[in-house]
Amino acid sequence: MSNNRQWVRNAIRIIEADFQRSADTHLIPLPLPGLPGVDLYFKDESSHPTGSLKHRLARSLFLYALCNGWLKPGAPVIEASSGSTAVSEAYFARLLGVPFIAVMPASTSRIKIEQIAFYGGQCHLVDDPTRIHAESERLARESGGHFMDQFTYAERATDWRANNNIAESIFQQMRLERYPQPSWLVSSPGTGGTTATLGRYVCYRQYDTRVLCADAERSVFFEAYCSGDSTLRLDHGSRIEGIGRPRVEASFLPQVIDAMVKVPDALSLAAMHYLAGRLGRKVGGSSGTNLIGALQAAWQMTQAGEQGSIVAILCDGGERYASTYYDDAWLKAQGFELPGLIDAVAACAEQGAPLPEGVARQGI
């Protein structure tokens, strides 16, 4: 057996052993007094060792790359990321003893940069967020390393049929609930890999559950879903870290999605603050986006006289955004006025009021 093959086998063993040491993430109910008959739950991915949903993706990407023969001892791993995937990949790179370089927008929160450094990774900051993919390719080419490319490989690296993916975990945890088969699963798109996994699993298991994808304001996924145009581009990045893209990524599979909403950034952040208040701890902006998607689905179920359950993804904790989304001075500088919107989110969840205008919808 070659030394490299032995290294790959040992690397896989190390990652699998790390997985065995980790428990599953929690499913947290969030009562909706204003929308009776609809039970909402959040799948809390912030409890992973690296604090976000991207821990699952990073593990899958590393295993996929190892089994494809793409990783070599001592050769760097490079990733294009707005932060959370890079934090998780830095964790796994340290486990394997390989260098890691994160190519990220210069606007990425300082705390995420510090977390990457904590796990031994380096940060390569790019002023233009639309250039992180090209810059990652360049660094990989010049260093002899491997560009992990989450935006291409997220949907294919994950075993969508089982193997404790997030979809299987949700349905297992829902078995004893009042409505064990959710009416809706709600996830926001970063790579599109999570919605692909959810949609494929639902189809494979022949469930009636529908998948709702909640997009950010500065992103092309919603428009691509509505128009079928995969060539759409923006010249700027998303303000909701971890979700929303300026181009349609290869891992975004609109065919497995049943409906989409596009949420204004201010409303996402207002919902984030509301959710944090309800849970008693900070959550990230993408969780606010998902809450708006879940409330839209729940409100329409109630209007139609339907009952059932909804499971949304709580993507990460809010500690990483202490200097941005939870900082009043930063919010003011960005032009966000949240108090009235927070009240509107509360009115929907607690009194059954419709959401504020501005949420674009397709298929719901």
pLDDT in tens, 108-157: 888 889 999 999 999 999 998 889 999 999 999 999 999 999 999 999 99
User: How far apart are the C-alpha atoms of 193 and 209, rounded to whole Å?
Assistant: 18
> What pLDDT, on a 0 to 100 scale, did the predictor assign at position 72?
95
Residue 180: is its pLDDT beyond 80? yes
The pLDDT confidence band at residue 90, using thresholds 50, 70 and 90, is very high
Q: How far apart are CA 67 and CA 269, in angstroms?
A: 39
Measure CA 37 to chain center: 27
Q: How far apart are CA 87 and CA 51, in angstroms?
A: 9
pTM attached to this predicted model: 0.92
In this prediction, residue 210 carries a pLDDT of: 98
Q: What is the predicted pLDDT for the residue at 342?
A: 98
Please say if the pLDDT value at position 1 is more than 60. Answer: no
User: Is residue 191 over pLDDT 80?
Assistant: yes
* Angle, CA of 329, 294 and 217, to the nearest 5°: 45
* pLDDT tens per residue, range 215-238: 999 999 999 999 999 999 999 889
Q: How far apart are CA 341 and CA 268, in angstroms?
A: 9
Distance of alpha carbon 127 from the chain centroid? 23
Q: pLDDT at position 160, please?
A: 81
The pLDDT value given to residue 108: 84
Q: What percent of the chain has pLDDT over 90?
A: 89
Angstrom distances, CA of residue 49 to CA of 70, 99, 137, 163, 214:
25, 20, 28, 19, 25
Q: Please report the pLDDT score of residue 129 as a whole number.
A: 85
Q: To the nearest whole percent, how much of the chain has pLDDT over 70?
A: 99
Q: How far is CA 308 from the centre of its chain?
A: 24
pLDDT, the chain, mean: 95
Q: What is the mean pLDDT of residues 277-285?
A: 97
> What distances in angstroms separate CA 300 from CA 81, 119, 187, 262, 308, one per listed residue?
35, 44, 18, 16, 12
Closest-CA residue to 275 (of 264, 288, 292, 285): 288
User: What pLDDT was estimated at residue 335?
Assistant: 96
Question: Which are the contacts of 354, defined by CB distance < 8 A and separation ≥ 6?
Answer: 299, 348
Helix/strand/coil for 123: strand
Is the pLDDT confidence value at 44 over 80?
A: yes
pLDDT at 82 over 80: no
- Residue 148 confidence (pLDDT): 97
